[in-house]
Amino acid sequence: MSGDASDDILRRRLELETVLSTALCAALGVEDEEFDSVLLTALEKVGLLVRCDAVHLFTLQPDASTLELSLEWVVPGQATLSEQFRPRALDNYHWLSGRLRRLEVIEVPKVHQLPLEATAEKLEWLTAGVRSLVAVPMARGQRLLGYIGFCECSVENAHSPEMLELKSRTAKVFSALVESRQKSAERARLFGQMDTLGRQDVTTGLLNLQGLQAALRTHALAADRHTEESLIYLQIDRLDWIADSAGTTAVESVLRDFAERLKGRVSEETVLAHLGSGAFVAMIAVPTRSETSTAAKFESVADELLSALRLPFAVQGRDALLSGSVGIARAANARDSGLDIVRCAELAMKHSQSRGQNQVCFYGPQFRPRAAHLLTLETALKRALEKDRLKIFFQPVFDLREGHRFGAEALVRWQDPDQGWISPAEFIPVAEQAGLMIPLGEFIFRKAMVSGVELLRNEAPGSRISVNLSPNQFHQPDLMRRVVQALEESGLEPGCLQLEITEGALVRDLERTKLLLRGFHELGVKLSIDDFGTGYSSLAYLKHFPVDSLKIDQSFMRDVTTDSSNAAIVRATIALANNLNLRTVAEGVETREQLDFIKDAGCDLVQGYLLGRPVPPEEFASSSPANISQLDTKAAKKPAAKPGLRVT
């Protein structure tokens, strides 16, 4: 190669690197709709640098078999391939597909001389006016993403090694860009599906809590003085009995059947919702100018709903008779109490439950002391969130096989200035009913992840920060987006975060759960089933969900060394997890005997007061031993005050 030619190649190589670097930087800072524009600009500059008449970017669709022309650039006056090309199976091109799947660079100096097995390729290229080309596969690892075709339409050309190097370099950079685009598109697709499911209960087809709240806001805007509204809250009893005897599929069948019965018993204007676990809601409005009192009309509708419930349900070929409890809250009474109408109706329903089966109760003054307490607690919780009074503490988790700490679980604590330490068993349900789980969840994520970055610096490789998700928080439609945002803001690697989810939350909406867990798994976030053994414990769900570990509920650990039943359950859970290639975590370990038992049973990870109490992040490193071998053999004693508060 002459000196001038060598200088020209060097100049083109430097210019190409500038073009590709610019494209990479630009792609990171644009929205999806601008992404193609960035790629097209780069294609044009690359085409001019490598002296082509056209550059075509073909990508494989998610099925890994359909080829699509995503972008193309052609010199002025040259016909575009997009005018004739439609998505088609890659295997239609037998000659081309085999070489691309082997990730070979394909050089075609003369298209008209292609062999007989390349007839389909030759016909298409000649029809498009292509006389010579180079096809360079785009791939990540061994996975084919598509290919870039560098075409010449005016001459037949043998491509120099230097030009082939430039084209291969282009394909490598575009591989990264295309993969990024595909992941973004898949994530957007998952978000879209989850948003669609976000307002609808998948089991019954009725509105869920999110959809009901939107409907309530609409009704509030449309309300007038000639109508009175009320909310009827019906809780089905004995669903646990059906789940235990016939399984969750039978429960879902009962819920669907009852939803259909309700639709046939109420007017089209009635808003129906299923809030989960057999809790159904009907929002109705009746005229105030009527001979029949509004209270009588509301109670009549409630009786109609109960009568629909009292009809037998078919469960595994047998008739199952169910009962329910009903609470009714009038919109005016709810406004007077300062509580959400759903919460008022639920309080009335719980009073009905205390009176026996198939009872109806209106929300009234007798509930105001309890309502006042809940309102006070809700107000205090809102203030605590606003003023950053909630704190995140960390309890160490240990790897039993290696002996070292394996990260920590994040626990929320609340010490109110007026009420002192408040149990999560009291304030978490208030947060869920008041719609505070989103801000509370964001607070926990933000604090746990920010503190976790520093906390994990001194921990063993692979250590994680575990964060509990409450059932209501898990079913928030934009949970994935919020987790991703929290990760990005904190700088915590996705693989260092573990989400703990209860069995009940997982099985409440199976289709959405599969989508959500798949999204977390692809992101790299670890997933654990919390309190395993207290809910459904179904192998069918385990094999369908991409979980990483099972957490043995502490109720089984309390008497594990003295109760043979608890010991058998713990050993069976560990064996089950091992067979499914899942890790096991034992919580609530308080004595050396318990520790020795689970270690002998083959448990992987452990936490409890024996190994370390929940502490602020700045005290974490010094509050527990770095290795189990340094552990004091005496049983740990729980502190009398300031217990670790855990979101469950």
pLDDT tens figures, 610-623: 888 889 888 887 77
Ordered structural domains, the chain, with CATH:
3-195 (3.30.450.40), 209-363 (3.30.70.270), 388-630 (3.20.20.450)
What is the pTM (predicted TM-score) of this model? 0.49
**The predicted structure's pLDDT at residue 224:** 62
φ and ψ of 228, to 5 deg: -125, 135
Other C-beta atoms lying within 10 Å of the C-beta of residue 236: 20
For the chain, give the mean pLDDT. 82
- What's residue 233's pLDDT? 96
Tell me which of 288 and 276 has the higher pLDDT: 276
Q: Binning pLDDT at 50, 70 and 90, where does residue 541 land?
A: low
The answer to whether 595 touches 589, Cβ cutoff 8 Å, is: yes
The residues, ordered by sequence, that sit 6+ positions from 625 with a Cβ below 8 Å of its Cβ are: 611, 612, 631
Predicted local confidence at residue 304, as pLDDT:
92
Q: What is the CA radius of gyration of the chain?
A: 32
Question: What's the rounded mean pLDDT across residues 563-574?
Answer: 87
Nearest Cα neighbor of 503 from 552, 557, 447 is: 552
For residue 419, what pLDDT is reported?
A: 82
**CA neighbor of 545 nearest in space, from 595, 497, 582, 570:** 582
* Residue 443 CA: distances (Å) to CA of 119, 391, 446, 468, 486: 62, 9, 5, 12, 10
Say whether pLDDT at 62 is over 50.
Answer: yes
Contacts of 241 (CB under 8 A, 6+ apart): none
Q: Which pLDDT belongs to residue 84?
A: 67
- Alpha helix locations (H) across 311-388? 331-337, 341-354, 368-386
pLDDT at residue number 29 = 62
How is residue 498 annotated by DSSP? E
Mean pLDDT comparison of 186-190, 305-309, 620-624, highest-scoring range? 305-309
CA 605/CA 299 separation, integer angstroms: 54
Question: Residue 274 is encoded by which pair of tokens?
Answer: 């299923």
Give the per-residue pLDDT at 353: 79
Distance CA 573, CA 579 (A): 10
The number of C-alpha atoms within 13 Å of 84 and in the hemisphere containing its C-beta is 10
Whether residue 636 has pLDDT greater than 50: no
Beta bridge partners of 390: 414
Alpha helix segments (H runs only) across 434-526: 437-455, 471-474, 479-490, 503-507, 510-523
What is the arithmetic mean of pLDDT over 334-358?
78
What pLDDT is attached to residue 186? 61
- pLDDT for 61 equals 84
Count other Cβ atoms within 10 Å, centred on residue 237.
Answer: 15
The confidence score (pLDDT) of residue 644 equals 38
| Confidence at 21, pLDDT banded by 50, 70, 90 | confident
In the prediction, which pLDDT does 12 show? 82
Dihedral (CA of 238, 244, 250, 251) sign: positive
Number of helical H runs and strand E runs in the chain: 23, 22
What proportion of the chain, given as a percentage, has pLDDT over 90?
27
pLDDT band with cut points at 50, 70 and 90 for residue 188: low
Tell me what the mean pLDDT of segment 471-498 comes to: 87
What's the rounded Cα separation, in Å, for the pair 534 and 548?
Answer: 18
- Interval 36-48: pLDDT, tens: 888 888 899 999 8
Overall average pLDDT of the 16-44 stretch: 79
What is the SS3 assignment for 419?
Answer: coil
Report the amino acid identity of residue 31.
E
Confidence category of residue 640, pLDDT binned at 50, 70, 90: very low
Per-residue pLDDT of 595-613, as tens digits, reads 999 999 999 999 998 888 8
Where is average pLDDT lowest: 22-26, 59-63, 235-239? Answer: 22-26
> What does the pLDDT look like over 64-119, one tens digit per residue?
788 888 889 999 888 777 666 677 888 888 899 999 999 999 999 999 999 998 99
In whole angstroms, what separates CA 340 from the centre of its chain?
28
Going by C-alpha positions, the residue among 170, 182, 112, 110 that lies closest to residue 145 is 182
| Choice among 230-244, 295-309, 325-339, 515-529 with the minimum mean pLDDT | 325-339
pLDDT band with cut points at 50, 70 and 90 for residue 30: low
Torsion angle in degrees (nearest 10) through CA of 472, 440, 462, 553:
-50
> At 177, which helix (H) or strand (E)?
helix 161-197
User: Which two tokens mark 10?
Assistant: 């060097």
Residue of 94, 90, 92, 100 whose CA lies nearest to 64: 90
